[in-house]
Amino acid sequence: MATRTTLGSLWRRSRTPLAQGGNRCLSVSVSRHHVYDNTIANLNIGKDTRVIYQGFTGKVATVNAEDTIAYGTNVVGGVSPGKGGQEHLGLPVFNTVREAMEQLNPDATSVFVPAQFAAAAIIEAIEAEIPLVVSVAEHIPVHDMLCVHDVLRTQSKTRLVGPNCPGIIAPHQCRIGIMPHKQYMRGSIGIVSKSGTLSYEAVGSTSLAGLGQSLVIGMGGDMMPGTTLVDGLKLFFDHPETEGIIVIGEIGGEAELRAAEAIQQYRRATKSPKPIIAMVAGNTAPKGRTMGHAGAFLEPGDVTAEAKAKALADSGAIVVPHPGVMGEVMSKLLSSSYMRQDVIADDTGTSVYWVYGNSMVTFEESYRALADVLASSAQNRGAKRILKFQPFEGGKDTATFNKGLKSGIRIIQMLEEGEDSSSRLLGHRLKTKQTSGDGIPVEELFVAEFEDCKYWYLAIALDRENYSPAVLISRSGGLSIEDTANSQSGCVKRFHFNFTKGITSDLLSRIQAGVNATPVETEKLGDILTRLWNLFVSKDATLLEINPLACSAEGEFKCINAKFTVDDASQRRQPELFAHIQADVPDELEAQKHGLVYIKMEGNIGIIVNGAGLAMATNDAIAYHGGASANFLDAGGQATKETIEKAFEIILRNHQVKVILINIYGGIIKCDMIAESIIGAAKDLGPLRVPLVVRLQGTNSTKGLRILEDVKLGFCIESGFGEAARKAVELANEALEKADQGNPNRLLMWRLKSSYIEDDDGRVRLALFGCEVL
């Protein structure tokens, strides 16, 4: 539920040379790689790879291990504390990873422990020097992963894949993770993907084309992954069994830009480079919203999916609009008659929680509070104050209201001005570039002193490139900081530091030199940063930002405005923060309670999809064919008949929806269960008011499609990814045309508008337009 701040991404903009032509930030960054790069070769698993499980005797691990052993993977034992000396599935169990390492000499470990214990399990495996660690768990707190990376970057024995990933598989030889192995075929295409379901789609497409896969790496959608797109590419560039490469990215971070740089260097240095296909999901994702994956969010100013795709295309990769065409395109790329032009595809919220204690005022208290602060003392009468709405979303300075008022920030001086502004804000709906639907209601206002002095910008954020926290600081703070950062390269300085060490004197010295701060300013900044860091750590923050930070002539600092984003995965550790979250769209909160990730959007095509990456790609495909999605809905890999029916119920509440597209790639989730859920929803909810387009691929898809065909309810069945999106757009357009034909007023409006445009007598026609239609 955490929403993202507008300015928290400033440090990223100077690091996008392929996408935007920018220069790197002036402050020196230390790469996370170094000796850790030496472990990339550990990804090259095969039939001889010896695998153990952590959490071996648990229910989920047991089911997975049985399936993995039946697939042919060389599982040799596992670890479950307190159960050492026993056997499980006929294999030995140990109390610690180190004991298992000494006795079994494994090449890899599959970590199947709950999210709150996953980081400790990963670190235990690193300390035991297991060559490959695969962690599939979702919702590991990002601070825990920062600790993991502090350990990873100092060693050269262990490679991590994950977390929040499907794992890694060498088809018909070795599976470590949860990949639906029945869909895989031994072959020559290497795949590295942020999204699990999109990697499954790429597998399906390349298998259908008869190419198969050499190795598939699901790096996962976490903010702090152990293996990146670049790592996968480096392995595949020299991998003898790999003849073609597929790289699948999405919004969030800059891994795709680093991948583009690696591809460009590889193609320049290689006489006969392997063909590379790429796609980036999230072109239609709304800004400021987390799209299922922990790392899949797009802040204003971040590198867009479109810019990432362009960078990849400029590097020499063939960029496709969706995974359904990957097999066909790769076949052409690998053929001797390949010509490039022949294959270009056409087809947190949290409440304000701050160290300096400005307070919120409620609707009932607003006028009394305004009177108090504006007439607090004789010497302050006439002093300026800031009156503003403080939503979780950013962008309130450029917001609009349903009554026409612009900006959620007002500068007031007299009580009467405050009363007038308050009455025009409270009770109305505000829409920013980060809100969804019709915006959010203004039910409370924030009052603060207006400081007429120099404004700084200060933040502690997570550096997704270096897997560490960083201080962001600028002497040019205020509402225009984003524009200033765009126009003045290097105005926002970035300083990385070690998560376990925190704010140190060395860091403060680097900051002082970087921004040319005086000793007094440095001392005050050190005090503020220490307070920020304590809050950052204790509350599992991913961003703490002060903008503006007022600085007086004497070097005194004062917080004017602050933003705080908390890690979604920390809900177990921060119940008091999440207890106060209220969704702007009640349907989103209801969906969350049923295990669904639902985000309302502006279009008229509803979607039900399993997997965040697949859901983003489905919305992108709809847009590619000229349509617009009404929502993002990820049913997840644990969907049940009840959750699917709840998804139908929530989507159909939106009367803008004209058609629903169900796009399922069966892995853990079974397509026959989905088919039965669709039929159940049609029975329980009554006749569905909109047509359904259904695409089922993967586990039990043939059975599921047969179930749907047998009931003869008129569902549109499509097998292709692009074909399903195209059909949904076609049906939505037909529904709109029928609505137009049944509404004489709409036809009259169109005719009068045409007359108005052609007629010079605009005033008469405008009056006629208003009278006749209204």
Closest to 554 (Cα-Cα) out of 513, 529, 520, 528: 520
pLDDT band for 639, please (50, 70, 90 cuts). Answer: confident
Pick the range with the lowest mean pLDDT from 273-277, 362-366, 675-679: 362-366
Q: What digits encode the pLDDT tens for the residues 621-632?
A: 999 999 999 999
Question: Is residue 315 within 8 Å of residue 263, measured between CB atoms?
Answer: yes
Tokens for 669, please give them: 């989730």
Query: Exposed, middle or buried by CB within 10 Å (0-12, 13-18, 19+), for 764?
Result: exposed
Q: Does the pLDDT value for residue 23 go beyond 50?
A: no
pLDDT band for 362, please (50, 70, 90 cuts). Answer: very low
pLDDT recorded at residue 265: 97
Question: Is residue 457 within 8 Å of residue 435, measured between CB atoms?
Answer: no
Q: Does the pLDDT value for residue 301 go beyond 80?
A: no
Question: Is residue 640 within 8 Å of residue 633, measured between CB atoms?
Answer: no
Q: Does the pLDDT value for residue 699 go beyond 80?
A: yes
Q: Does the pLDDT value for residue 533 go beyond 60?
A: yes
Question: Is residue 664 within 8 Å of residue 610, measured between CB atoms?
Answer: yes
pLDDT recorded at residue 485: 67
Q: What digits encode the pLDDT tens for the residues 741-770?
A: 665 443 333 333 333 333 343 333 322 232
Closest to 132 (Cα-Cα) out of 49, 214, 57: 49
Q: Does the pLDDT value for residue 370 go beyond 50?
A: no
Dist. CA 543–CA 532, nearest whole Å: 10
Q: Does the pLDDT value for residue 601 go beyond 50?
A: yes
Q: What digits encode the pLDDT tens for the residues 488-531?
A: 777 889 999 999 999 999 999 999 999 999 999 999 999 999 99
Dist. CA 174–CA 765, nearest whole Å: 73
Closest to 207 (Cα-Cα) out of 192, 190, 185: 185
Q: Walk across the sheet containing 440-441 and list its strands.
A: 400-401, 429-431, 440-441
Q: Walk across the sheet containing 385-388 and list its strands.
A: 360-362, 444-449, 385-388, 409-412
pLDDT recorded at residue 421: 62
Complete DSSP assignment for 598-661: EEE-SSSEEEEESSHHHHHHHHHHHHHTT--BSEEEE--TT--HHHHHHHHHHHHT-TT--EEE
Q: Where are the alpha helices (DSSP H) in 165-276?
A: 196-208, 229-237, 255-269
Buried b (16+ CB within 10 A) or exposed e, 419-434: bebbeebbebbbbbeb
Q: Using CA atoms of 468, 469, 470, 471 in order, give the dihedral in degrees to the nearest 10.
A: -170
Complete DSSP assignment for 450-478: ---SEEEEEEEEEETTTTEEEEEEES--S
| Catalytic pick among 149, 293, 322, 594 | 293
Closest to 184 (Cα-Cα) out of 173, 194, 192, 220: 173
Dist. CA 609–CA 707, nearest whole Å: 19
Q: Does the pLDDT value for residue 672 go beyond 50?
A: yes
Is residue 293 among the annotated active site residues? yes
pLDDT recorded at residue 21: 36
Q: Does the pLDDT value for residue 107 go beyond 50?
A: yes
Q: What digits encode the pLDDT tens for the residues 319-338?
A: 999 999 999 999 999 985 44
Tokens for 391, please give them: 């939503």
pLDDT recorded at residue 774: 27
Query: Exposed, middle or buried by CB within 10 Å (0-12, 13-18, 19+), for 656?
Result: middle
pLDDT band for 383, please (50, 70, 90 cuts). Answer: low
DSSP state of 406: B
